[in-house]
A and B are shown apart, each in its own frame.
Chain A
Amino acid sequence: MIRSRRIALVLLLPGLVLLLGGVVIPALTMLLSPPRVPTGEVFDRLGRMLSDPYDLAIIWRTLRIGLTVTGLCLTLGFPTAYLLARSRSRWAGVLLALAIFPLLLSNVVRTYGWLVVLGRNGVVGQTIEGLGLADPAPQLLYTEIAVVLGLTQLFLPLAIITCYSAVAQVDANLDEAARGLGAGRIRTLWSVTIPLSMPGIAMAATLVFAGAVTAYTTPYLLGGSRQTMLATQLFRYSGVSLDWAAASATAIIMTVLVLVVYGVSTVLTRAKAVTR
């Protein structure tokens, strides 16, 4: 126990300085009044963006891709986590490690694989041509599907381990009890396992959605200039056209999106905990 308040503050100080000075204050300054931009310009730009069809299309695409990826990650991730958590096989450990391993690997490396799979001379295209389904094969890269696939690959491990810890916390005896009382497999899953692991599932959805709507590497590599998302647009404003007001306005939209999702998920899981 650290009894002295002074010692506790001394231990905290370097971290506080780093976070306030290195992240919070620079981020607030950038969002509200970036250097070399007249006061109020950021909010003017924000207003114009929210009424401009081109910018609205980017926001809508980002949301749509984020929701699709979240849906896919839960659809594929929860069953995987469920099987892994409930399995007594020796292989479960290996499969879990295999699901976690990609998290150690760079997004660039993971996303790059889709260029080989979906690219000009890629496997999928060659197969389509080989089977005589279409010649030449349709453009697969730089489509929304490519971005959705890439992001799903990226965030599926996160969905799996988050759901895994949620399912593992649900007592397997409860499943057995429900089965013993005559509930079928699906009924048990729907009325017992899924409701009890809901906080974990909500957490997985939040992490995946927040990650997908702010991801840069994947939409940049697989979406190209046709499938602009908020992050690629933000980089274009700040790294290419040096339009600081527009960059800040885009950053505000992105930040608000993420904060809203975290807020909603916190409120929902808290409400759930209270009603139980």
Chain B
Amino acid sequence: MKRSSPIAAVLAFLGYVVMIVPILFVVATAFTGGSSLTFPPEGLSLRWFEAALAYEPFTQALLSSLQLALISTVLALAVGIPATLAVMRGKVPGKSLVEGLFLSPLILPELVVGLALYQQFMLHLDMDNFNALLIGHTAILLPYTVRVTGASLALADPALEDASRGLGASPLRTFWSVTLPVLRPGIISAALLSFVTSFNNVPISLLLQSRDFRTLPVTMLDYVQQNYTPIVAAMSTLLLAGTVALAFAAERTLGFARIFGGINR
């Protein structure tokens, strides 16, 4: 950094402190030997990690969250990729309206979506909470799929597809051998973002939880409100470790800038 202005550097430093330091304190407290959220930690121990992994509501909810995130990601891709192709490569009547509709879950407050799903599907249609959750999660993931794979598709030259069709390939064959390989980085980014978004979601899951199927973030949130032990710090640290591993793999395969490039356009 050549002669960067000192004021900007101070503000940037403060920004990093606000973003990162609280997370470091979570990790530090997770290793405490004491039984409350005290800093500095009272001795070193792994007892809270053991406690977190032995606490059934957490492990149960972890499995539920993984299951929900995986299925809704696959569904969002299955629904979103064809839609992206139609919007970007086809002649669709009312194109901007359709695009607006596909981005609507991003603009509508998530808690409002969650409440709407609860009222209409669980109260009104008596749907079970897993299916209601699946509809809600898939819907809020759709904008990511459409935007990120759309950004990827925008880079692809339509002439390639025309050439493939001109050489006699069927539309399906063209999709498999020409379009899909071009889209692959976009699809991987979309899948990663979708998985993380669904796994971490609170507002949609909050009202749709039931005793049989609860997601991890909501379970942790409830636990924090009732107890003041470091068990949540330990669980958070485990999640952090998992996320670091995921981020590392993602950075290796695609690069962060590429993955996040698509959301903000």
Chief secondary structure at chain A's binding surface: helix
A110 within 8 A of B: yes
Please tell me if the beta carbons of B22 and A110 are within 8 angstroms of each other in the complex.
Answer: yes
A216 within 8 A of B: yes
Chain A min CB distance to B159 (Å) = 10
Contact status of A22 and B109, CB under 8 A, knowing A12-B82, A76-B12, A76-B15: no
Report the count of interface residues on A (CB-CB < 8 A): 97
Report the count of interface residues on B (CB-CB < 8 A): 99
Contact status of A8 and B15, CB under 8 A, knowing A1-B161, A105-B239, A162-B264: no
A51 within 8 A of B: no
Report how far A11 CA is from B172 CA in the complex, Å: 13
Please tell me if the beta carbons of A20 and B101 are within 8 angstroms of each other in the complex.
Answer: yes
Chain A min CB distance to B26 (Å) = 5
Report how far A106 CA is from B61 CA in the complex, Å: 14
Chief secondary structure at chain B's binding surface: helix
Q: Which of A132-160 contact B (CB under 8 A)?
A: 149, 152-153, 156-157, 160
Report how far A31 CA is from B92 CA in the complex, Å: 30
**Residue on A nearest B221 in the bound complex, by CB:** A108
Contact of B111 among A100, A149, A231 (CB under 8 A): A231
A183 within 8 A of B: no
Please tell me if the beta carbons of A30 and B115 are within 8 angstroms of each other in the complex.
Answer: yes
Please tell me if the beta carbons of A26 and B121 are within 8 angstroms of each other in the complex.
Answer: yes
Interface string of A22-45 (1 = CB under 8 A from B): 111111011100110000000000
Contacts of A76 on B, CB cut-off 8 Å?
11-12, 14-15, 18
Interface string of A103-139 (1 = CB under 8 A from B): 1111111101111110111110010000000000000
Contacts of B203 on A, CB cut-off 8 Å?
214, 216, 231
Q: Could you list some 12 contacts between A and B, CB below 8 A?
A: A5-B93, A7-B86, A14-B78, A18-B139, A23-B139, A86-B4, A88-B2, A108-B217, A108-B224, A116-B28, A121-B38, A126-B39
Residues on A lying within 8 angstroms of B by beta carbon are 1-3, 5, 7-9, 11-12, 14-16, 18-20, 22-27, 29-31, 34-35, 75-77, 79-80, 82-83, 86-89, 92, 95-110, 112-117, 119-123, 126, 149, 152-153, 156-157, 160-162, 165, 185-186, 203, 210, 214, 216-217, 220-221, 231, 234-235, 238-239, 244, 247, 251, 254-255, 258-259, 262
| Other A-B pairs beyond A1-B161, A18-B138, A99-B16, 7, CB < 8 Å | A1-B90, A11-B83, A12-B92, A23-B113, A26-B113, A98-B20, A121-B39
Residues on B lying within 8 angstroms of A by beta carbon are 1-2, 4-5, 7-9, 11-12, 14-16, 18-26, 28-29, 36-39, 78-80, 82-83, 85-87, 89-93, 98, 101-102, 104-105, 107-113, 115-121, 123-124, 135-136, 138-139, 142, 146, 158, 161-162, 171, 196, 199-200, 202-203, 206-207, 217, 220-221, 224-225, 228, 232-233, 236, 239-240, 243-244, 246-247, 251, 256-257, 260-261, 264
